[in-house]
């Protein structure tokens, strides 16, 4: 007797480590979209999975103290980008937060992308993927691409010396080849802030 769709999905997710994210698309070889969706709903009710957003599920990690752990926003967004084979970069206050330049985490987080434009609700937060030109996504360094967006948010005439010094300290942790690439894609005023780090490395 063939295994039910629910059991087949359960067997598949149990082979992955806890904390792994799953999309409905991950199970297209098991059953059609409607049947798969119903099976996932039952697995959520039984506690095997947690629904983190429309069509996105996680087999939660279990912390010995706080219990089930929901993935961070960044991990969820990276999983979406990987699935869609899209480039992304966070913008605005969220970019500042990721660099430690702001303690604020906005309820509406905006990512630039060369993938599909969309909005995803995760708890009380809305993740907006905003379509942009490829030239705005040429930065490849995890730190330097955040720096470019953070400085754009602060503004040319509003960034202060303390922020510049902190940013330059962070950039020293960036891979040299990534920093060299990303400086070329930055606006002129941001380039001047970033290139100082390269000059210090040459000394």
Same domain flag for 15 and 63: yes
HSE-CB of 16 using CA atoms within 13 angstroms: 17
Domains identified in the chain, total number: 3
pLDDT at 50 over 80: yes
Q: Are residues 95 and 58 in the same domain?
A: no
Q: What is the pLDDT of residues 93-137, one digit of tens each?
A: 999 999 999 998 889 999 999 999 999 998 889 999 999 998 889
Instruction: Report the C-alpha gap between 60 and 63 in whole angstroms.
Output: 9
Order of strands across the sheet that contains 108-113: 88-90, 108-113, 125-131, 118-122
29 in helix, strand or coil? coil
In the structure encoding, which two tokens stand for residue 74, read together? 């960044």
Q: Both 101 and 144 in a single domain?
A: no
Four-residue CA torsion sign, 62, 68, 74, 75:
positive
Residue 21 lies in a domain: yes
Q: Is residue 148 part of a domain?
A: yes
User: Domain boundary at 15, 43, 69, which?
Assistant: 69
- Chain-centroid distance of CA 48 in Å reads 24
| C-alpha to C-alpha distance for 27 and 4, rounded to whole angstroms | 13
Same domain, yes or no, for 144 and 156? yes
DSSP 101: S
pTM, 2 dp = 0.83
Q: Categorize the per-residue pLDDT at 203 as very low, low, confident or very high, splitting at 50, 70 and 90.
A: very low
Contact 182, 167 (CB under 8 A): no
Do 175 and 123 share a domain, yes or no? Answer: no
Domain that holds residue 156: 140-203
Domain identity same for 123 and 179: no
Boundary residue ending a domain (93, 122, 137): 137
pLDDT at 67: 87
- Over residues 34-46, mean pLDDT: 93
Domain assignment present for residue 155? The answer is yes
Assess whether 16 and 60 both reside in one domain.
yes
Which residue is it, tokens 């752990």? 69
DSSP β-ladder status, 108-113 and 125-131:
parallel
At residue 2, the pLDDT reads 59
Residue 43, pLDDT above cutoff 60: yes
């Amino acid at each position: 007797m063939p295994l039910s769709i629910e059991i087949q999905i359960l067997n598949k997710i149990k082979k992955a480590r806890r904390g792994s994210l799953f999309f409905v698309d991950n199970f297209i070889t098991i059953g059609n979209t409607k049947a798969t969706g119903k099976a996932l709903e039952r697995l959520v009710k039984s506690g095997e999975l947690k629904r983190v957003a429309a069509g996105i599920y996680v087999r939660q990690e279990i912390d010995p103290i706080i219990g089930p752990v929901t993935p961070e926003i960044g991990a969820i967004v990276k999983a979406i980008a990987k699935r869609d084979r899209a480039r992304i970069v966070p913008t605005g206050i969220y970019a500042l937060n990721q660099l430690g330049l702001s303690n604020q985490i906005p309820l509406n987080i905006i990512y630039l992308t060369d993938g599909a434009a969309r909005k995803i609700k995760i708890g009380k937060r809305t993740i907006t993927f905003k379509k942009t030109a490829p030239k705005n996504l040429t930065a490849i360094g995890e730190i330097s691409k955040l720096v470019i967006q953070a400085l754009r948010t602060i503004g040319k005439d509003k960034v202060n010396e303390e922020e510049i010094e902190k940013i330059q300290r962070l950039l020293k942790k960036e891979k040299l080849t990534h920093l060299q690439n990303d400086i070329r894609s930055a606006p002129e005023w941001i380039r001047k802030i970033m290139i100082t780090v390269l000059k210090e490395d040459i000394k």
